[in-house]
Amino acid sequence: MSFDGLMMHHLINEYQDYLIHHRIDNILYVQTDVFALELYHQKQKKLFYIDLHANDNRLYLTEYKKITSDHHPSLALFKKYLSRSHISTIKQYQTDRVCIITCETFDAFDGNIQYHLIIELMGKHANLILIKDGIILEAFKKIVHETSRSIAYHLPFTFFPSNKKPLNEFAFNQLDVNGYVSAYEGMSKDLAFEVLKTETKPYDLTVVPSMKG
């Protein structure tokens, strides 16, 4: 099944019970387009992979193993702001393929500080963006446009603009597969096909995601 808004919804429901309160010990760039967070909680370590490959966006957890980090220009600032922080919330943006991980840390001068790690699993537009108070601190892919959304240091962060309906407001009509994909946020072709085949609304389908890699 494609990684769509419904899959993100179910994965985040699983992560809610697992990732909250985990400490981020390190951020690694393990191979081209793949980051990993080293997590620690209750004397156990895990690796949370963020795969931004254009053709295979996904999130998954594995047992901890020592891995080597490659260099990436964005890695230093991700480490600076997120290392030793704790995950306080994880949620989906609307019904899209976007995960928001809120991380909290404490500073002797500024007190409690919140950062938001935005994971956008949008195919070739997949990105990893760190923001604080709505301002971009770092991003895996920097994008500057005069007329559309820009992603760069110290710019205000905005989500992808969309005029699609939320997936949780799905209603049957006379659309075909492509029509449903165009009409609903987070709808993939695989999901639209399953909806039409079973005559079942997306959130009524039985989905068994696996958060394990």
Q: Which residues contact residue 118 at a Cβ distance below 8 angstroms, ignoring those fewer than 6 apart? A: 93, 98, 99, 100, 127, 128, 129, 130, 131, 157
Q: Model-level pTM?
A: 0.93
Res. 4: pLDDT tops 80: yes
Q: Does one domain contain both 44 and 81?
A: yes
| Residue 112, H or E segment | strand 111-120
pLDDT tens for residues 138-191?
999 999 887 789 999 999 999 998 999 999 999 999 899 999 999 999 999 999
Q: Which domain holds residue 186?
A: 165-204
**What confidence category does residue 208 fall into, taking pLDDT thresholds of 50, 70 and 90?**
confident
| Residue where a domain terminates, one of 139, 155, 180 | 139
pLDDT in tens, 48-76: 999 999 988 999 999 998 888 889 999 99
**102/199 same-domain check:** no
Same domain, residue pair 26 and 129? yes
CA distance 68 to 70: 7
Write down the pLDDT at residue 67. Answer: 87
